[in-house]
Structure 1
Amino acid sequence: MAASYELKASARDRVGKGAARSLRREGLLPAVIYGDKQPALPITIPVKETTLTLHKGGFLTHIGSVEVDGKKHQVIAKDYQLHPVRDELMHVDFLRVSANTSLTVDIPVVFINEETCPGLKRGGMLNVVRHTVEMIVPANAIPESLVFDLAEADLGDALHISATTLPKGAQPTITDRDFTVATIAAPGGAQDEEESSEEEATEE
């Protein structure tokens, strides 16, 4: 299972807000590694390198390697906190993963052949219902995206989850219906909706 990024960390024995502030002054960030039926491991990681990794994209869907005092842990970031004002990283939660681990992640949706889409060429508009799809996937085969082909989509058509080829071993968390991911709205549909909303507001 290849790691897409590597971070060096140290075990952390200080906890609490005061300790966290002290760590950040040193250019370090409090984090924790948990899961895989092992005790939680509080750690510190470098703020600069972790922030760069976050901004590269895919932080919550890419497998990483965190080396703690010489021992490497295969992980995936499950959550992170940002400062409400400064938008700086405050804390990261990492989940241990192995080849047998399954994860629930949000996979981005991507559309191709928009330039040849019949519905769009006739003035329609792509209405994206879901920008991501929550999927259960193997930790060693997390897809970068779900691809939907618009080459034959016409006005009024709806693209359901069945319109894409799901990666091997992956399945949506919604299994009871063929849910809609996007539609090709007729020309003026969005404008009509706006006018309707304005009329309702005027009546009120």
Structure 2
Amino acid sequence: MTTKEQKMDTAIVLSGGKSSRAGFDKQLMRIHHERIVIYLANKLKTLFCQVIIVTNKPKLYANTEYLVVSDRVKDYGPVAGIYTGLYYAKSDYAYVMACDMPHVSLPYIQWLKGKAHRDHYAHDIYAVKKNDGKIEPFHGFYAKRIEPVMKKMIQDNIQKLTAVYPRVTVDYVDEQAIKRFASQGDMFVNLNTRDDIRKYFKQERQGEDR
């Protein structure tokens, strides 16, 4: 195993959201007959030796091969989810995504690993900043060494995930740089509402029919 693989060999799937806009627990969605979290984890395991599922319902994953953990701080959103995942991560960096983001681009992950390696792992976070200035907190790598920063945010009652960026060093990936991975599906599609979910599955069915 190369240094690059050892340093970035953990993936975290956050699965503990309240799903208030969807009106039901999005962990229960199925893609290709698999619960969405397991579907994502199965894809991620091709590039990561450790896949961590952070969930508020660990019993849903009683028979899975993956490490299943609950938030170390309850009801605190993605800040607590990432903090928990980093606590259990075995490698120096962890790739973080949410369970309501159905697209995983393995070529993008490989590219981002290579980018960090060429950068000599100088930054705490590697994440995408879109052309409009919006930072995408998911589909990015987070260094285990920022676990204390996340913990301090929780202690200070800071729940907004983007508040972590001024507190650490970040290498922002330009949106233009990820255009080459568009064929893998839009990684940042988020199934927040019932309309989002209906639209996604309609597109999936149309793709199968072609």
TM-score by length of 1: 0.21
- The structure showing larger relative contact order (alpha-carbon pairs under 8 Å, at least 6 residues apart) is 2
Structure with the bigger percentage of strand: 1
TM-score by length of 2: 0.21
Structure with the bigger percentage of helix: 2
